[in-house]
Structures are given as C-alpha cells and as structure tokens.
Amino acid sequence: MCGVVGIKSHKPVAAELYESLIQLQHRGQDAAGIITYNQRFHVKKGVGLVRDIFDERNMARLLGNIGIGQTRYPTAGGYGREDAQPVWTGVPYGIAMAHNGNLVNQVECTADLSQTRFRHLNSTVDVEIILHYFADALNKRAATADSPDFFEQLCAAVADVFRHVSGAYSVIATIIGKGMVVFRDPHGIRPLAKGERHNDNGTTDYIFSSETSVYYALGFQHTGDVQPGEIIYLPEEGPQQRRIIEQRDLTPCVFEYVYFSRPDTMMNNVSVYRARLRMGQNLAFRWKNKYPDEQPDIVIPAPSTANTAALSVAQALGVRYSEGLYKNPFIGRTFIMPGQEQRRKSVRYKLVPQELEIRDKKVMIVDDSIVRGTTSREIVKMVREFGAEKVYFVSACPPVKYPCFYGVNIPTRQELIAHQLSDDEIARHMGVDLLLYQRRSDLLEAVTRKGDHGIDHPCMACLDGNYVTGDVDENKMRQFEAQQSTRE
C-alpha cells in the first residue's frame, strides 16, 4: 500500500507535495520521494519518514509548478532508496511516474520488456514496468507520427499498458513539455481522487491523490474520482482531456475502508468514517443475536483505526465507550512493519492499558481486523495483565484467509491465522472468552449502504479468494508466496 499525489499549479508545488505526503504518511513509512520539473526533472527520494527525508535545502531544489510525490511501503521490490518512487525515463520527452498498487504478472512483464522490447529496468518496483510499457508505446507513436494528436498518442499508450499489465494501479505521471497524465486500472481497485482549486485570477489548479484528507488544508475542492480505466490529461496549456479506455466493474479494495484509509477521506464517493460507523453498527447487531446474554461493561478500541467502529458498537450495545488503551502516536502502524517479532514488540511500545478502565470489568475489544493475529494476541495479553474479568474480541472485518495480489502486504497463507485455524481455535490462541467476526455480507452492506458510489462489488479477495483480475491460480499463488518469502 502506498500514497501517491500529483499537483499541477500556477505556483511552485514542492511545499504542497510535501504537505500532501505528510497527510499520506499512514499509507507507507518505508520510503518517499518527490519529482518536479520546469525545464528538467528535479528529484529527491529517500528511505524513512517524510519529515526525515526532506529539509529546507533539498526542498529548495524542487523547482516547478508541476510534480508528483509518493510515500511507500513495499509489497513488491526492495526496501532501499533505489526502489523509492517516483521513477523516470528520458525517452521520449522525459517521463516521471508514481503509483499505488501491485501487479499480478510482474515476472512475466519483466521478461517481456527485457527480451522483446529491450527495455532495461533499474529497480524492482512494479511501477517501472508500467512506465516502460507506457514510454515504449508513446515513443513508437511519436516516432512514426501515426497520430499527430498527443492525447490520442497518450490514449494508445495507456491502452498498451492495459493490454499487458494485470493488477491494481493508480498512476500519476508528468511529461516534460507536455503536462500531467493520470490513469487508473480498469477495475478501479486502488483509489485515486481528484480536486480543483480556483484562483482569484481565474486560473485553476489540480490535484490527484490516494486520499482527500489534504484537500481542505491546501484549498482544493474534491471533485470526484478518476474512473476505472480512465485517462485524464492536463496539458501545460489548455483544457484537460479525459477518456475511458477500458472499463469493467468498479471493484475497489474493501480493506481501504476497513483499515488503510484515514476516516476523514471520501473514497469512491463513500465516507470512510460513515462506512466504519456502519461496520460497528452491524457488528453490534450480530453480537446481540449471537450472544444475547453476554453484555460487556466497556467497549475499547484497538487504536486508532478501530476507534470509529468501536464507538458505534458501544452506542448500539448501550454500554460505555472507553479509550482503555493509550496509543503512543510516534510509533508506526504495526500491520505494515516487516517481521513478526518487530510487530509483536512494537505493540507494547505503542499501546499502554489504562488499569482503572479495565480492572474487574468485562472488556470488549474492537479491532478493525485480525490478520496474522500477532497484534491481537498481545493486546489481549495486556488487557488480561491489567485485571480484566473477561475479554471479548470482535473484528470489524471478516476472517482474512487469502494473500492480496493488489497492494496490501498479506504475503502468504501460512501467515494468516484464519487460513490456518477455525474461529474457536483462534479464540483459544488469542486467549479470549468470546470471539466474533463481521460477516462478509454485513461488511459489504456497511460500505455500500450510502452514497452515489457506483461500486459494483468491492474487491474482497483477501476474504473470499475471488481475485477480480481473474488470473490468480494456485501456481500463481505459490509463485507469489515463494517470492515474498525471500524478502523476509
């Protein structure tokens, strides 16, 4: 999972790209980068948090009124600076590109590019594959002048990407002397929002990003989303052009609503905050039906992505909501930390139980999901150690049983506790008195109940094994899991 942003403005964009990446920091803590251009590219990339990579000196070198940025945690490729985005190529024109997503057929595409098109890849990140298909197709059309209209050339280049590349990808690119190009995979798996800012002199600035959280602070108005299979071209001068190249069912990742996105984001015209409230509401109704005689004394969230759902659970059950676990805000998101041992240790560094809220009480812990079970088990142990009479554990997400091929770091079935154990076995492993998962139908209802969203059905591949690109079989899964195991 990554956060990507692009801004085309009538003033220098470096500072606003930086502020945008700060707002997208939760989507990736491994690396970050910014590319801007005026007559040439200006780039700064590094490993670590956004605030540690950029300083006054290197920000001053990022010149230009157009640029893109990305904050990353790796689901493909390595962990070093060379695999930070954006990436770029000099032919044709000079093209820089960043994306959010993950490719299913990365191995096949890499072989095709190197052996058939003789394109050399300088990194192991899959966005470079997209860049080379796009650049190669654009270069051929520019050289032959088959289509003198540049937008038609862009449409043909994106169509070539769609023909060869399978997976999730929301892409922002800049082309020197031309402008900004944005496109989204035909399934719309990863989010890509757009906004506009109208200046006093009558000009308009544009922003594209994984989430809308930064728009208000920068003065942008959210104007919708890039559609599945759509390309939008913002030339340096002149009106924007857009076209849907190839569109299939809109199947956005359901885990964006469950966990990854900030609650103040609008995604596919659905409020993430309201979706999480509805998750909690549906979860409470299910608890009442299944355990009518079991009433907790307090409901506490596993902070902080579960706070919204936990608040709704407490309201629906008619019990007190309590922040019984204090979260140190300076510790990163444990789910996206590499390695089980690091995740386990970081839970106790990050969360401290409040004894007066827990001791001698029946405590219901609400978490957004249970993936590996490492974090959940440690939380339960801490609550027990601080004197809880009983511990109930409820998950706003159904059991996660399958790896994700589209950009969430769920690499192997062997790591997924729900793939290995039954619900009762998981409850015993976690040390809880009662365990309750959300049903898939209730999660679907929570996401799609409100909003003119156009969602045909969210991608729930990690929950039901139904991969929307249709090209994940057992051999592909084993190949992917073997590849991931070498990165641990």
The structural domains of the chain, with segments of one domain joined by +, span: 2-248, 273-451
- 367-402, pLDDT tens digit by residue? 999 999 988 999 999 999 999 999 999 999 999 999
Residues 211-215 have a mean pLDDT of 95
Residue 212 in this model has a pLDDT that exceeds 80: yes
Tell me what the mean pLDDT of segment 306-318 comes to: 97
| pLDDT at residue 419, as a whole number | 95
Fold agreement (2-248, 273-451):
no
Q: For all residues of the chain together, what is the average pLDDT?
A: 92
Which 8-state DSSP code applies to residue 179? E
Fold adopted by 2-248 = Glutamine Phosphoribosylpyrophosphate, subunit 1, domain 1 (3.60.20)
Mark whether 397 is an active-site residue: no
Amino acid (one-letter) located at 36: T
The whole-model pTM stands at 0.92
pLDDT band at 78 (very low <50, low <70, confident <90, very high): low
Judging by beta carbons within 10 Å of its beta carbon (0-12, 13-18, 19+), is residue 461 exposed, middle or buried? buried
Q: Is 122 helix (H, G, I), strand (E, B) or coil?
A: coil
Q: Which of 106-120, 226-240, 260-274, 378-392 has the lowest mean pLDDT?
A: 106-120
Q: How confident is the model at residue 479, as a pLDDT? A: 82
> Does the pLDDT value for residue 342 go beyond 60?
no
Alpha carbon distance 475, 343 (integer Å)? 29
Tell me the CA distances in angstroms from 338 to 342, 344, 477, one per residue in order: 7, 11, 20
CA dihedral sign, ordered 438, 442, 447, 449: negative
Q: Reply yes or no on whether the pLDDT at 443 is more than 80.
A: yes
| Distance in angstroms (rounded) separating the CA atoms of residues 100 and 190 | 7
Buried b (16+ CB within 10 A) or exposed e, 117-127: eebebebbbbb
Which CATH architecture group holds 273-451?
Answer: 3-Layer(aba) Sandwich (3.40)
Cβ-based neighbour number of residue 372 at 10 Å: 18
In which band, very low, low, confident or very high, does the pLDDT at 478 lie, cut at 50, 70 and 90?
A: confident
Higher pLDDT pick, 351 / 366? 366
Q: Can you give the pLDDT at residue 488? A: 45
| pLDDT for the residue 333 | 52
- The confidence band for 323, taking pLDDT boundaries of 50, 70 and 90, is very high
Kindly indicate the confidence band of residue 328, based on its pLDDT and cuts at 50, 70 and 90.
confident
